[in-house]
Structure formats: C-alpha cells, structure tokens
Amino acid sequence: KRIIIKIIYDLVRYIKKHKIELIYSNGFCSFFCSSFASLITNIKHFRFIGGDLTKNEPFHFNNWKFNVLPPSWLTDKYCGGVFILDKMHEKGVPRSKLLPLFTPGGVDSELFKPSMTISEKANLREKLGIPSENLVIAWLGRIESNMEVRNTLKLVKELKERGLDKLTFLII
C-alpha cells in the first residue's frame, strides 16, 4: 500500500513541477496510479489499451466490474483498437469514454500516408534485401508472448501456403 501511495505522491509532484497537461498510461499499475494522480491534479488522463485485455489482463478485465468504480473516476478516455473497445463497451463502459485509435483493419490510412518517393522506397528495399515485387508485412512492437507474435507468424505462413510466396516479413 505504501509504495503505491508514494508512487502517486511522486507522480503528483512531477505533474505539478513540470506543468503536465495530460497523462497517457498503459499497463494496469500505471493506469491505477495515473488515475488517482489525474484526479488530484485535475488533469486529463487517457489509458491506451493495446491487444486484448481478456488475455493480457484477464484478472482485471474478466473479474472487475466496470460499474463498481465508474470509468469517469478513473480516466477521461480509453484509447485503443476498435475490437477491444467494443469488448469494453459490452462490459458496460459508455461509448463516450472510448476513443478508437485504429481502423478495424489496424491502420489509420489518413495518418500513415506513404511519404517516401518511389526511388527512396526502392533504395530502402534494396538496402534491406527486399525484392521489389514482394508484399511486406511488418511487425512493430515488443516480441513477447502476450503480444501474440505467434498468430502473426502463423498468418505469414498461411499466406505463403496459399500461394502468396512473394512475401517479406519484417520485424521492426
């Protein structure tokens, strides 16, 4: 208990000292401490939800009833993929608290527009040893079991087995 109170106290001091205007948290512990720090300092708090809470945080998501402590007490918005936000809505979190960060396909094509010229792309492909005719599937993130890298690898394997053999899997 004391360490959590100290973390919240230190976070509040840091927020005030550096005039922080927004807290953006991720994992459950940082979310918990950030929630109370944002309440004390009266600043906005957004929690990023990555992946699938039913697998990454099964105890918290499956056993915690969102209506016991209303989301408005904990965070201004939950941010993340459409899939997990829909699950949160099913658990009782109001849509007004949910901020989708990705399209159902996983990429915001307005935000992530290709900005390289054709020759720059060709040079980069050559530098990385990627044939110009290959489709590139990239993994961007931590490589840990809860990030479901195996599912992505299975997808790449299945695509190759179905005839898409001109494929490069790039890990960033």
SS3 14: helix
With bands split at pLDDT 50, 70 and 90, how would you rate the model's confidence at 66?
A: very low
The answer to whether the Cα torsion of 47, 49, 50, 56 is positive or negative is positive
135 pairs with which residues across the strands? 167
Lowest average pLDDT, out of 59-68, 76-85, 123-132, goes to 59-68
Q: What is the pLDDT of residues 148-172, one digit of tens each?
A: 677 778 878 888 888 888 888 888 7
pLDDT-derived band at 70 (thresholds 50, 70, 90) equals: very low
Return the half-sphere exposure (C-beta side, CA atoms, 13 A cut-off) of residue 26: 3
Dihedral of the alpha carbons of 22, 26, 32, 38, in degrees to the nearest 10: 0
> Cα–Cα distance between 94 and 47 in angstroms, integer?
15
Count of CB atoms situated within 10 Å of the CB of 88: 20
Return the higher-pLDDT residue of 152 and 13.
Answer: 13
Q: How far apart are CA 161 and CA 3, in angstroms?
A: 52
Within 10 Å of residue 16's Cβ, how many Cβ atoms? 13
Q: What's the pLDDT at 17? A: 92
Asked whether the predicted pLDDT for residue 48 surpasses 80, the reply is: no
Residue 146 carries which DSSP code? G
Please compute, for residue 56, the number of CA atoms within 13 A of its CA located in the half-sphere on the CB side. 15
